[in-house]
Every structure is written in structure tokens, then in C-alpha cells.
Amino acid sequence: MQARKNYRRILLILFFLSLGGIAALSYYYAVFSQIPDNISIYKDREEMLSFMPEQWILPVSGRIVPLGDNGEEGIKKEEKAEDAQEESLTVSQYMGTEKLSSDLLHINLQEEVSIEATEKGSYQMEIRCLGILMKKVRLQVIEEENVIPCGSIIGIYGETNGVLVLGTGEVTDRNGKKQEPAYNLVRSGDYITGLNGKRIAQKEEMLQFLETCDGEDVELTLRRNGKSVTVELQPVETEEEGYRFGIWVRNDTQGIGTLTFATTDGRFGALGHAVTDIDTGGILDLSEAGLYEAEVAGIRKGEPGVPGEISGIIHLGDNSRIGKILDNTPQGIFGSLSADLLQEAKEVPVALKQEIAAGPAQICCQLGDDIKSYQVEIEKIDRNPDVTTKSMVIHITDEELLKETNGIIQGMSGSPIVQNGKFVGAVTHVFVNDSTRGYGIFAENMLLHLQ
């Protein structure tokens, strides 16, 4: 009996030790996962960085090493370049100042760290706790830049780089039999770029080709996930439409959004997320796309489960084109402005993510003829998000905006967020079941596309 009691005691002790270990590891992971994988600092400006929470008691140290042009640690350059890099980064802590040299620099991460760099470049910090490597953080030195927060409604129109495949389906041949010639050969999201070796860019070119193909096998050149793929299929002759591939396609897109920011030299960023296809959900590969003048035609308020929307009129035409889209990325669309839209516009500094704090802020957007500023609250900040367009949770608190829209609605994507006189990010998404709340992207993530 005594042996059995001892056995039970041991099991209970092991059980509680396991619970304690799991709790400790969970806390350990939660702390280190909140340290960003990437930290940017501005050239020629001192940055004060805090890495660990005040209640953390275990010793944590950091080791900073320069990265070469290919991003690898310890890449040695010729002597003059290396000497220049040695002088370019200064780290201060406690008493005195230490300069980065070819040797490794160790710092105590339980204290605030001052870092100042005189040259652009990349470094890597290894974070260790009790000598165990916990995380590697990339430290990027970038140029400081001021931008002009905008908030104006814009029209977006673009043509795809090739004919976008929305999907495949059955067609009925002349004998009434259903066939699907493109099944398992062509996929949704493919771009058709050639027919029998001849390049095409418009769906009209594909339809013209089918009129003269006489039902012979056709070689399709596709772009799939950035790679060229060739497939062969036989078109089906239908009763009323002639020959068909059984492929549903599109080669242009248009919509309404918000211009986020501009620079005095004519660059812009907008939306805070990519232009995607409504059917495939994929990021559109655009060959020719532009920004156009637009006006607000109406507002549909957001409701639980049903996002609201700004409906607008896009003025297409050369005289109404105000910019050219050069890049369609997950963090927004970027390009050049071709019209003088920035008269009397005021520049503001761009805040890095470590400067943003939970609390009051403003968004700028256009719901009528004029751009207005509205009060919001930044409720949550994730400096290491899985999705870069969901770095902040914002809550609309402005009574006027709530009365007009019930919160965030479609078309407001890209509305700039300003806090303490600095551009901190842009609105990107709305919560489906709570239109007063939504996500925002860090300004820093958008500005990377202008470097």
C-alpha cells in the first residue's frame, strides 16, 4: 500500500512539474515571438530599442554582426569597405559607447539599447537567453523619408499580362454531347500568353484564333506561378458559338480605392493590399494599369456579416489618368503620379513600427467631395504579424464617420493612418461581424517598395 501511495505522489509531482514546464515554455515562446523578425532604423538618427518586458528576469544578450550584400553573416569585403562599415554603426548602453568592429559586439537586451547608423546596410542580431540561441533579428538601416498622406478616392483600371483563366467547364458539341477539353490541362489562375507560338494579350485575340482553327489541336503557352508551361488541347465545335476551349477568361480589371500617400518627387502608394481577381482570389499580374480620377456616387453602410461599400464613378480616358501603376504587391499598389495633385500638400515623417503606440489616431478618407480626418483608436499592435497587411487593429470612434458608414467599408482600403503627426500606416480590412473595427498595415511595410 505504501509503495502505491509513493507511486501516486511521484505521478502527481511529475504532473505538476509538466504543467509548470508547459506554462514556462508557453510564456517563453510568447515573449520571444513578439520580438520582430525585422527591425528598421533610420540612417543618421538615434533609435532607442527595448526588446524584453520589464518583468523578465533571466539574462538575455544580443550579438550584432554585419551582413554582406547577399544577406549572409560574416561576408568579408575589401579592407576599405570593411573599415567604413566598422564606423557606420554605434551601439550605446550603460556607461560609454562601443563601436561595431570586425569582432562581435555583445549587448544586454534587458536594458534599453541606443543604436545609430551613418550608412545604409543590413545587420543581424542573435538573441540568446542563458546562452541558448532564441531568435535571429534582421536589423535594416534605411533612409528616412517624409510623405504626403492623401486619402482621396481613386479609380483603378488595368489590363492583365496575358489572358487570365478564371476556370474551365463543359461545352456542348454539335451532337449535343458535353465535353471539357481543358480539364486537368488548364487551371484557374493561369495566364494564356500564346497560341501555337503566337503571343496574345487579349481575349478577343483568342476568340479570333478559334474562328480559324478548324478544330485542330492547339498548343497553349501558359504562365503558371511565374513559370512557362505548354499544353495541347483540341477545341470543341459547338452549335452556335463555333469552336471553344471551355475556358472562362478575363483580361482587365477595375475598381475604387483610396490613395494612401505620395512623395514630392511623384511616387505613390495605395490600397495597402494587392489588387486581386474577384473570382480566383489571386494577385493580378498587370501589364498596363493606371490611376484615374473618380468621384463618390453613393455610400452603403456596413452591417454585421455584410461589408459596406463606396460606389463611385471612374473617369477613364487619357485626360483623367493621374498615375501609372508599376507594382502590384501584397502590401499595395505603387507607381508614379503623372498629374500635379500635390499643390499645398504637407509632408509628414514616416513612423517606424517601434514608434507606434496603442491609443488615439486619425484616418483620412473621402466620402463625398472633400477629404476629411476622422478619429480612431489603435487597439492592438502586432510587430511580427503572420500577414503584413494585418499589423494593427483599429477601432473607428468618430461619431460623424460612424453615422455616415457604420465604420470601415470597401473603398476605404488605403486610407492613411496618422498618429502624433506621423504617417503610421493604412486601413486594409474590415472585421466582417464588426464594421467599426478593422486591420491596418504598417507604413514601414509599404515604404519598403519605394526604397
- Please report the domains of the chain, with CATH numbers, ordered by start residue: 38-144 (2.60.40), 170-245 (2.30.42.10), 252-337 (no CATH), 345-450 (2.40.10.10)
Strand partners, 224: 227
Digit-coded pLDDT (tens) for 132-184: 788 888 888 888 889 999 999 999 999 999 999 999 988 888 888 898 988 98
Cβ atoms of 360 and 377 closer than 8 Å: yes
The pLDDT value given to residue 323: 92
pLDDT score of 75 = 41
Q: Give the pLDDT score at 100.
A: 47
Phi and psi of 355, rounded to 5°? -90, -15
Strand order in the sheet with 113-117: 47-49, 113-117, 89-92, 97-99
Composition of the chain by helix, strand, coil, percent to 5: 15, 50, 35
Active-site position among 40, 391, 413, 435: 413
Choosing from 40, 152, 273, 395, the catalytic residue is 273
- The yes-or-no answer on residue 413 being catalytic is yes
Is 434 part of the annotated catalytic residue set?
Answer: no
Report pTM: 0.83
- The C-alpha cell that represents 384 in the structure block: 511580427
pLDDT digits (tens, 9 = 90+) for 359-399: 999 999 999 989 999 999 999 999 888 788 999 999 999 99
Residue 145: its pLDDT value, please? Answer: 86
Q: In sequence order, which residues have a C-beta less than 8 Å from that of residue 242 and are 6 or more positions away?
A: 210, 211
Given 398, 415, 429, 435, the catalytic residue: 398
- Residues of the chain falling short of pLDDT 50: 75-86, 95, 100-104
d(C-alpha 413, C-alpha 147), whole Å:
18
Q: Does the annotation count 273 as an active-site position?
A: yes
Predicted pLDDT at 132? 79
Cα four-point dihedral sign 419, 423, 425, 430: positive
